[in-house]
């Protein structure tokens, strides 16, 4: 009898809902719990992409089509929980990109901001906003929103890097624009190293200028500077129990993150060091530059070696153990979350 009554109630409510939907309305109480979870439960999976598997496939792609045909010849790192989504985490796109000798990836610009973590530089270059920079392993090269950029290689070896873009954030806001330049390469207006000299050597222009808005005016954070800095800092004290020895890339104009939507930092873990468990609301992607790491992500284990890429979705407990002296680059949506006031972390 009671069940019949419950069925009755359900049927009555459903009839009511059926009158709402043609009018583009819905009852909040049926969906509230899903809309406002008690804590984050990521739809994405932790994963590691092995460079040893990716590189031969990338070289095969090099035979299949030119960089010009492809516009960008990239193997997208797809989170295995969302095939076809072109996402590594909830908000970020990442991929391994290849430029073959003599190629140019033609100049374009878009609202999404990009970064490149260089794996094989070999004399290749990126040009951003009228300035060229030569790429070497470990360099962090930034393409601020809406700046012209093209890549090329005039030497005889391939160039490979990891791309990271905030494009799912931009697309979420339905705010994306893109333009193609009327030539393969943009016009260079500054000598190589100009931005680094003007903004990144303890100097700034006399008249304050923010050429890229909230994004750093330095667009190549060279590993040749970053690595010795990290190692010197590491040599002078014990690693942080949760972070290891970590330094973040800064915008010299305000001391904040180098990019408004993508936080970037470099971590050194000495061989044998294991971090304590930490979880945070940002979706992280890590590129191992040196050594090897054993990850424990929410109880699952993964290992990542040189040039491998790992992703750690939001709010999963993370521990890292260095099986060799290790340097890791991390990119995440933390800087965007901090600006929105929603970033949180917890440490054990
Ligand atoms: C892009 O502009 C690049 O410039 C790489 O190298 C990957 C993925 C989606 C949209 C634009 C690049 C990209 C991209």
Specify the CATH number for the domain of residue 327: 2.60.120.10
The pLDDT of residue 3 is 65
Q: Which residues line ligand 1 (CB under 6 A)?
A: 72, 74, 93, 97, 105, 110, 114, 149, 151, 163, 165, 167
In-domain check, residue 7: no
Under 8 Å between Cβ of 247 and 230: yes
What is the token pair recorded at 56? Answer: 């031969």
CB atoms near residue 346 (< 10 Å) = 12
DSSP secondary structure code for residue 257 in this structure: B
In-domain check, residue 77: yes
C-alpha 89 chain-centroid distance: 9
End-to-end Cα separation, the chain, in angstroms: 51
What is the token pair recorded at 245? Answer: 């020895």
Cα angle, residue 188 at apex, residues 182 and 192 outer, rounded to 5°: 145
Residue 72 Cα to ligand 1 middle (Å): 6
What is the token pair recorded at 58? Answer: 């990338």
User: Measured between alpha carbons, how far is 308 from 50 in angstroms, rounded to an integer?
Assistant: 5
In-domain check, residue 179: yes
In-domain check, residue 39: no
> Which helix (H) or strand (E) covers residue 247, if one does?
strand 245-248
The ranges of the chain with pLDDT < 70 are 1-3
DSSP secondary structure code for residue 12 in this structure: H
In-domain check, residue 64: yes
In-domain check, residue 71: yes
- By C-alpha distance, which of 311, 348, 309 is closest to 117? 309
Which of 113, 165, 168, 331 to mutate to test ligand 1, by most ligand atoms within 8 A of the CB atom? 165
Residue 74 Cα to ligand 1 middle (Å): 8
In-domain check, residue 19: no
What is the token pair recorded at 254? Answer: 């305000």
In-domain check, residue 182: yes
Cα angle, residue 114 at apex, residues 111 and 115 outer, rounded to 5°: 165
- By C-alpha distance, which of 117, 123, 129, 114 is closest to 198? 129
Which of 114, 129, 153 to mutate to test ligand 1, by most ligand atoms within 8 A of the CB atom? 114
User: Measured between alpha carbons, how far is 195 from 248 in angstroms, rounded to an integer?
Assistant: 19
Query: Where do runs of H (alpha helix) occur along 91-172?
Result: 167-172
Residue 166 Cα to ligand 1 middle (Å): 10
Cα–Cα distances in angstroms (integers) from residue 336 to residues 17, 28, 56, 91, 262, in the given order:
37, 28, 35, 10, 7
Give residues with Cβ within 8 angstroms of 256, minimum separation 6.
Answer: 250, 335
φ and ψ of 167, to 5 deg: -65, -25
- By C-alpha distance, which of 175, 149, 180 is closest to 163? 149
Question: How many domains does one find in the chain?
Answer: 1
Tell me, yes or no, if the pTM score tops 0.85. yes
**159: containing domain:** 47-347
User: Measured between alpha carbons, how far is 139 from 338 in angstroms, rounded to an integer?
Assistant: 25
User: Measured between alpha carbons, how far is 130 from 221 in angstroms, rounded to an integer?
Assistant: 17
What is the token pair recorded at 2? Answer: 């009671």
């Amino acid at each position: 009898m009671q069940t019949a009554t419950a069925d009755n109630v359900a049927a009555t409510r459903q009839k009511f809902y059926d009158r709402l939907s043609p009018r583009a309305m819905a009852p909040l109480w049926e969906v509230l719990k899903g809309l406002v979870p008690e804590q984050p439960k990521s739809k994405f999976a932790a994963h590691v992409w092995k460079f040893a598997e990716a590189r031969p496939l990338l070289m095969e792609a090099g035979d299949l089509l030119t960089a010009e045909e492809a516009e960008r010849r990239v193997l997208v790192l797809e989170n295995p929980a969302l095939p076809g989504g072109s996402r590594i985490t909830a908000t970020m796109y990442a991929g391994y990109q290849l430029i073959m000798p003599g190629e140019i990836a033609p100049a374009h610009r878009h609202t999404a901001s990009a970064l490149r973590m260089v794996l094989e530089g070999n004399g290749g270059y990126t040009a951003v906003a009228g300035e060229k920079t030569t790429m070497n392993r470990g360099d962090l090269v930034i393409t601020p929103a809406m700046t012209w950029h093209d890549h090329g290689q005039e030497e005889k070896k391939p160039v490979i890097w990891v791309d990271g873009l905030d494009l799912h954030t931009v697309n979420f806001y339905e705010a994306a624009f893109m333009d193609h330049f009327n030539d393969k390469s943009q016009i260079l207006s500054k000598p190589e190293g100009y931005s680094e000299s003007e903004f990144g050597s303890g100097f700034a222009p006399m008249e304050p200028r923010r050429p890229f808005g909230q994004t750093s005016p330095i667009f190549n954070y060279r590993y040749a500077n970053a690595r010795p800095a990290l190692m010197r800092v590491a040599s002078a004290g014990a690693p942080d129990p949760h972070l290891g020895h970590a330094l973040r890339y800064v915008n010299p104009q305000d001391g904040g993150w180098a990019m408004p939507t993508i936080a970037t930092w470099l971590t050194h873990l000495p061989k044998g060091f294991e971090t304590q468990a930490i979880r945070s609301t940002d979706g992280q992607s890590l590129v191992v530059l040196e050594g090897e790491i054993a990850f424990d992500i929410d109880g699952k284990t993964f290992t990542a070696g040189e040039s491998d890429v790992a992703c750690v979705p939001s709010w999963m407990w993370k521990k890292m153990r260095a099986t060799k002296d290790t340097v890791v680059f991390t990119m995440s949506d933390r800087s965007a979350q901090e600006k929105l006031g929603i970033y949180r972390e917890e440490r054990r």
